[in-house]
Amino acid sequence: MFIITGFKLNLKKIILFASGSGSNAEKICKYFEKKKNVSLELLVCNNPNAKVLKKTNKYFINSMIIDYESFYNSSAVLEKILNINPSLIVLAGFLWKIPEKLIKAFPEKIINIHPALLPKFGGKGMYGINIHNAVIEKKETKSGITIHYVNKNYDEGEVIFQKTIDIKKNETPEELSSRILKLEHNFFPRIINQVLESGK
């Protein structure tokens, strides 16, 4: 009788893309650490000094540092990802626009989180504190997070999930940013898991 070990039935593979501090990527790693049917295969990063590299390294995730040339003007990154054949590509604070060749190769397999209620406050330049400054300046009464599929236009893909919070009186952009980040940490890993389980 032969016993096969190390085989994972219906293994779902995730590739993370990140550019900065990596707090969302770290939360995702922690959430999936004990899920035996999910494997975090690779971290793709365009900043060799990004804190996300150290934060995810302790979870033994392989990393790939990319530059503009390799990402946009060659097939190196696409070929690497095709070889892994991920169930999902997750943008966790990745600031570069995803090239169309990657979107076409993985339709409805790339998701992103945005710290505002799309379609408001999306598009080029709308990231980080810029978003929260704009929300406060426009005297919005609500903000929140949007998790969406990625298409060829910034922040215009199909919405998967939104969570709304009320903006407090005299709230600063920094205070709003802190509260929004907590929403991201709380909901992003769970929604990723739901997308994986849906098998879309």
Q: Which domains does the chain have, with CATH numbers?
A: 10-106 (3.40.50.170), 113-185 (3.40.50.170)
Q: Which of 142, 80, 145, 149 is nearest to 111 (CA)?
A: 149
Q: Which of these, 92, 62, 105, 58, lies nearest to 191 by C-alpha position?
A: 92
Global pTM value: 0.92
Residue 88: CB partners within 8 Å, gap ≥ 6?
A: 12, 13, 14, 15, 109, 110, 111, 192, 195, 196
**Residue among 126, 127, 77, 70 at smallest CA distance from 106:** 77
DSSP-derived secondary structure letter, 154: T
Q: Please give the positions annotated as active site.
A: 114
pLDDT of residue 9: 58
Provide the edge-to-edge strand list for the sheet that holds 88-91: 62-65, 38-45, 12-18, 88-91, 110-114, 142-149, 159-166
The reported pLDDT for the residue numbered 200 is: 61
pLDDT means over runs of 10, the chain (200 residues): 49 95 95 93 96 91 94 95 97 94 95 97 91 96 97 93 97 97 97 89
> Looking at residue 65, what is its pLDDT?
96
Closest CA to 194 of 49, 32, 81, 69: 32
Return the structure tokens found at 27: 């939360």
Per-residue tokens: 92: 């966790």
